[in-house]
Amino acid sequence: MVAPIYSTLESWLELNLPSVQKPGRYVGNELNQVRKDWDSVKIHAALAFPDIYDLGVPNLGISILYDQINKRQDALAERVFLPWVDMEKIMRRDGISLFSLENRIPLDKFDLIGISLPYETLYTNALNLLDLAGIPVHSRDRTSDHPLVIAGGHAMLNPEPMAPFLDVIVIGEGEEVIHEILDTLITSKINRFDREKTLIALSRITGVYIPSFYSPLNDDAGMYLGLNTTSPKIPRCIQKRIVGRLPEPVTDFIVPSVEVVHNRVAIEIMRGCTRGCRFCQAGMITRPVRERPLDQILDTIQVALDKTGFQEVALLSLSSSDHSEIKEIVQAIQTRFEGKHLTISLPSLRIESLSVDLLEKLSGSRQTSFTLAPEAATDRLRNIINKPISDDALLEVTRLIYSRGWRVIKCYFMIGHPEETMDDVKAIADLCKRVVMEGRKFHGLKATLHAGINTFIPKPHTPFQWRAMDSLESIREKQAYLRRELRGPGLKMTWADPQTSLLEAWLCRGDRRTAEVIYSAWKSGARFDAWQDQFNFDLWKDAFNQSGIDPFSISHRVRSADEVFPWDHIQIGVTKKYLLEEAENSQSGVLRPDCRESCYVCGVLPAYKKIRQENPGSHWGCPEVKAESIQP
């Protein structure tokens, strides 16, 4: 029996919570929380989102795993988030160990801690979370008495910078693999396996990467050469896990007792993207496309609204308007929930698939603004990045949106693309002004165009992984130009902090040596790196200086075609050969539009042939190809 620290914590919390911001972050007891008897189950999982409660509660990945684990009779999952700096300070002062929200159990009493790492600027937070729980941050310092520290999420598609801190890394989708991991851990617990034997058993699961079984090789100049395995039985490559069908969606969303970033029913209507934008990592690593059926979407919304009382429904996907039944979905939601005054949000819309029909259907809902992502404003650059949307098409869509009563449109652009010139940047400003002029025809000076300016990062597993990032000076110059141009009535601009983008590039492309830089930055005080008021770039520069690694060789070096990348052992389905072909196509301006119309043989079908055969039907974006015609 683990002694909950509930009673001792109770008085500590009572005494101290009034002195911190948003005390409700730390007390749990929300509607739809699952609080099981600790001793009634065989295995205990803490699900950690390494940022504050406000961001962690609406996180769909955590909600899915919480739901999957708690549906089992033999397991429980409890949530943990990182305390904000004020709470951390008093916890450290009083020696209070990080605890779960449900039963208030110290984290080191769980069998496993599952950390969600969707983006790299959470890395120092993950170390901080372990440290606040009294768990050694390096995997090598943990023993069989410590929980297994497992991580997953998009950032783990290059796991090497975090490898020394994690016992187990899940590559890909978690809904099925989590059950295989739990079953293995239960067997291991019953048979009293030591840590090594447990890890060996876990390494046999597809999609599970045990970093301690691999040692990286670098030459004298520091060039990465590849990985050695500690035993011939350990797989040399890890294949990303996928599910053949999207599993039953979550309905019992936690209803938070304090304000969080989203209070809504979130339903993933489609996973994957077939558009093939060459800068977009998410589009490459989430293939194949799998759609959720209309009936399941409607039934889920019905149950979830009843269970939560939320008034917003978010239809999530990388490109929601690309769902083959999107109009029917929106129409059916309007019909079934008429009079409920729901807000339907489609956070990512593809300009080509945003039809008049869909707009008509959405005009009955309370969607507050539209978000479009043209990413580039000249045809030349659009061809390079494989996102060919003409100015005319964009202006037509924005005219339609404004004409149906919406006053605010958000448009995302990216600067620093390969081959970008100042003319491409000037075209962004010109296009934004033309968009707002369309709005003025309907709303006068109240029409608004909100331009979000991101910075290109040559992300792993993309056709641009061989390219270099734009220089800091050039990015600053381009941002300054756009800031000067995009001001005045109806024009708003937000932009990514260039130093944060640079850090993201270093962390997403790094090899295992980067881990000690992360450790050293965290030891010097780096945490909450995604928060502008907490981010300290100098700490990172110092940490790189001490390590002897030139970070600009990570972000700003053009790679040759035969370069071995630190993430090459992670197989996402899309082959390196295909990515290279796409890199060449970008140079010659060759377009590859939506692959649902014509398969370009990216590698996904051969990699997941068996799963495709077991899941026939049009819910996959990939064709049903006969087994014998699939080339490896």
Site residues, ligand SF4 (CB under 6 A): 274, 287-288, 595, 599-600, 602, 604-605, 621-622
**Cβ distance to ligand SF4 smaller for residue 274 or 547:** 274
**The tokens of 14 are what?**
């009572």
DSSP state of 418: T
As to burial, measured by CB atoms within 10 angstroms (0-12 exposed, 13-18 middle, 19+ buried), residue 280 is: buried
**Cβ distance to ligand SF4 smaller for residue 51 or 291:** 291
Least distance between ligand SF4 and beta carbon 172 (Å): 15
In angstroms, the CA 73 to CA 40 distance is 8
Distances from the Cα of 553 to the Cα of 425, 470, 506, 513, angstroms: 26, 13, 9, 13
Sheet with 312-316, side-by-side order of all strands: 265-268, 312-316, 343-345
In angstroms, the CA 466 to CA 464 distance is 5
**Cβ distance to ligand SF4 smaller for residue 148 or 622:** 622
In angstroms, the CA 174 to CA 168 distance is 13
Least distance between ligand SF4 and beta carbon 578 (Å): 8
**Cβ distance to ligand SF4 smaller for residue 319 or 520:** 319
Distances from the Cα of 329 to the Cα of 246, 296, 299, 548, 574, angstroms: 17, 10, 11, 54, 30
Least distance between ligand SF4 and beta carbon 601 (Å): 6
**Cβ distance to ligand SF4 smaller for residue 201 or 605:** 605
Least distance between ligand SF4 and beta carbon 618 (Å): 12
Least distance between ligand SF4 and beta carbon 582 (Å): 10
- Answer for the pair 294, 329: CB distance below 8 angstroms, yes or no: yes
**Cβ distance to ligand SF4 smaller for residue 59 or 585:** 585
From the list 412, 402, 515, the residue with the least C-alpha distance to 126 is 515
Least distance between ligand SF4 and beta carbon 512 (Å): 30
From the list 178, 362, 368, the residue with the least C-alpha distance to 264 is 368
The identity of residue 450, as a single letter, is H
What is the 3-class SS of 150-208, one letter each residue? EEECHHHHCCHHHHHHCCEEECECHHHHHHHHHHHHHHHHHCCCCHHHHHHHHHCCCCE
Least distance between ligand SF4 and beta carbon 595 (Å): 3
**Cβ distance to ligand SF4 smaller for residue 171 or 301:** 171
DSSP state of 304: H
**Cβ distance to ligand SF4 smaller for residue 306 or 597:** 597
Residue 226 DSSP SS3 = strand
**Cβ distance to ligand SF4 smaller for residue 288 or 439:** 288
User: Is the link from the previous residue into 593 a cis peptide, with omega within 30 of 0?
Assistant: no
Least distance between ligand SF4 and beta carbon 579 (Å): 12
Least distance between ligand SF4 and beta carbon 169 (Å): 24
**Cβ distance to ligand SF4 smaller for residue 76 or 602:** 602
- Answer for the pair 362, 397: CB distance below 8 angstroms, yes or no: no
Least distance between ligand SF4 and beta carbon 92 (Å): 48
In angstroms, the CA 303 to CA 298 distance is 9
- Answer for the pair 447, 440: CB distance below 8 angstroms, yes or no: yes
The label of the residue with tokens 């989708």 reads: 173
Least distance between ligand SF4 and beta carbon 212 (Å): 33
Residue 504 DSSP SS3 = helix
Strand partners, 43: 75
Least distance between ligand SF4 and beta carbon 594 (Å): 8
The helix or strand, by DSSP H or E, that contains position 411, with its residue range, turns out to be strand 408-415
Q: Is the dihedral of CA 29, 33, 37, 38 positive or negative?
A: negative
**Cβ distance to ligand SF4 smaller for residue 482 or 595:** 595
**The tokens of 510 are what?**
């790094």
The identity of residue 533, as a single letter, is D
